[in-house]
A and B are shown apart, each in its own frame.
Chain A
């Protein structure tokens, strides 16, 4: 590809971070973070504001020096060979700063020359990137006059311009409307397998849909890591069912549930509505789906009338809230988690 002279060993992971620490004048922004990103993987960075996401990303790019710890990109250590790292990374900072007075193609041309793309290839590559990011229509427009969605895509186009093996984007979808988010998501998904991508975001479904793996950071520490499915299991450790039922619930339902499955409990109970139906949340440690058994057993039981039953899939949002709460140690994790918003899985 572009940088054949760089001593990149193919076997080394795209990014390796070990015990990374960053202290800003007494305040610890990142404390002992360790993680690895495989080549071609898309990693999502999650965390509340001030968790240390941007700091970690900036250290990865070699822009900020780390206080302690080891960071290497494609086997190249960031601390000692920062100039090589810069050629391996395409970076889009938070808020996507762009020079307002330049035209889109001019800007990409300038950045391409800074990124040492050979002059012959540059204009071809710019056409390619403009096409990929759907910017061809605005290539001669002035960046300052573009809408937010276009600006964001200019930032992404700039990051992937030199075809670096690693792309780091700090909140690429912030401030976009749903339609634009869709475009950006497709764009990121199209990089899968070819480039290693790290994105941070607050929009959790976004991360869930695009990322292979998620890393949740809070207060400078990794509080959870894994695929979205792994995280659900790890953080909740139980399956949840939403049930709408009428009948003598308080007296007879718990016993009936224990008969069906010993680990099944009522976690929350709502008020009866006009027709006498209550909304209940049931939990069980059983991983496999109890829905069928449950519905069948309750339907033949004359004491209850069932209107609806569904298995609730905790969203990444629940996982995120639970994981960050757990790390704050202010609320017990499972109790805190169940208060999270429940997704509508129909």
Chain B
């Protein structure tokens, strides 16, 4: 793991000087700002039971669907297409170091983008001058959920990128995987067939992996170690598959 830090700092540096990062960031903040002002409009129209932060984070999947593929689709696919993966792997660097370095660089950017939405709440607090709008519990819970779930989402994006040399394919694949785990699981959860007694184990498994249940728990301040384990184990698995994906392509190239 000697070169992990070198690759990580290199990747972060490269993405901070690249214009596409800033374009993605502007788009992200525009969408999030739009959502946030929509939420606030609802609150100004009628009294609501939950805090604005809780509603805001309910829509977390929307930016995840386009941000995660955008941030990760390039990382391995582009290196492979340009052939720089070959120069990278013929230096005294292991595949694991390369994948982890790129993964954490993408995760860092993901966190950075989400952290910038903290500005919305600061502006709200500053101009409303009312601490009641800022319910610190759901806010911190929401950001914690974003950080924890982001581990898995970014890892899935890196995995998709390890499978293809085409960025667009990697992007679409990553979108599909994310859609499956966020919306797909939620949809299956609503199936009537799962209510049968014999389907109990499936029902439990689906409930366990329903992202929206996790979000509710986090914003209510419940940090369940089983949910943490779900994301951490999923992340580890996705990263192991990414490393294998890169190496398998070498063996069968």
Contact = CB atoms under 8 A, between A and B. Distances in A.
Interface in A99-115: 99, 101-102, 110-111, 113-115
Contacts of B87: 91-93, 97-98, 111, 158
A146 B90 CA distance: 24
B86 A63 contact: yes
B244 to A, nearest CB: 14
Given A25-B252, A101-B14, A114-B6, A83 B89 contact: no
B3 interface: yes
Contacts of A58: 86
B47 interface: no
Contacts of A25: 252
A152 to B, nearest CB: 14
A86 B92 CA distance: 5
A64 B93 contact: no
A61 interface: yes
Interface string A28-67: 0000000000000000000000000000001001111100
B14 A97 contact: no
A149 B30 CA distance: 44
Contact of B90 (A24, A89, A98, A110): A89
Interface in A59-94: 61-65, 83, 86-87, 89, 91-94
B83 A97 contact: yes
Contacts of A94: 83
A86 B86 CA distance: 12
A289 interface: no
B101 to A, nearest CB: 10
A69 to B, nearest CB: 16
A116 interface: yes
A91 B3 CA distance: 19
Q: Chain B binding site: helix, strand, loop or mixed by DSSP?
A: helix
Nearest to B89: A63
A65 B7 CA distance: 24
Given A25-B252, A64-B253, A102-B14, A114 B84 contact: no
B92 A110 contact: no
Contact of A101 (B7, B18, B86, B92): B18
Contact of A113 (B6, B18, B86, B89): B6
Contacts of B92: 83, 86-87, 114-116
B126 interface: no
Given A83-B94, A110-B10, A63 B83 contact: no
A111 B83 contact: no
A95 interface: yes
B197 interface: no
Given A63-B250, A83-B92, A98 B86 contact: no
Nearest to A115: B91
A98 B86 CA distance: 10
Nearest to B247: A65
Contacts of A113: 3, 6
A93 B83 contact: yes
B98 to A, nearest CB: 10
Contacts of B253: 24, 64
B132 interface: no
Nearest to B18: A101
Contacts of B250: 63-65
Contacts of B83: 93-95, 97
A58 B92 CA distance: 15
Nearest to A110: B10
Contacts of A115: 91-92
A255 to B, nearest CB: 62
20 contacts: A24-B253, A63-B89, A64-B251, A64-B253, A83-B94, A86-B92, A89-B90, A91-B87, A92-B87, A93-B83, A94-B83, A97-B84, A99-B84, A111-B91, A113-B6, A114-B3, A114-B7, A114-B88, A114-B92, A116-B92
Interface of B: 2-3, 6-7, 10, 14, 17-18, 82-84, 86-94, 250-253
Q: Which 3 A-B pairs have the closest CB atoms?
A: A97-B83, A86-B92, A114-B91
Interface of A: 24-25, 58, 61-65, 83, 86-87, 89, 91-95, 97-99, 101-102, 110-111, 113-116, 158
Given A98-B84, A114-B6, 4 more contacts: A24-B252, A93-B87, A99-B84, A114-B93
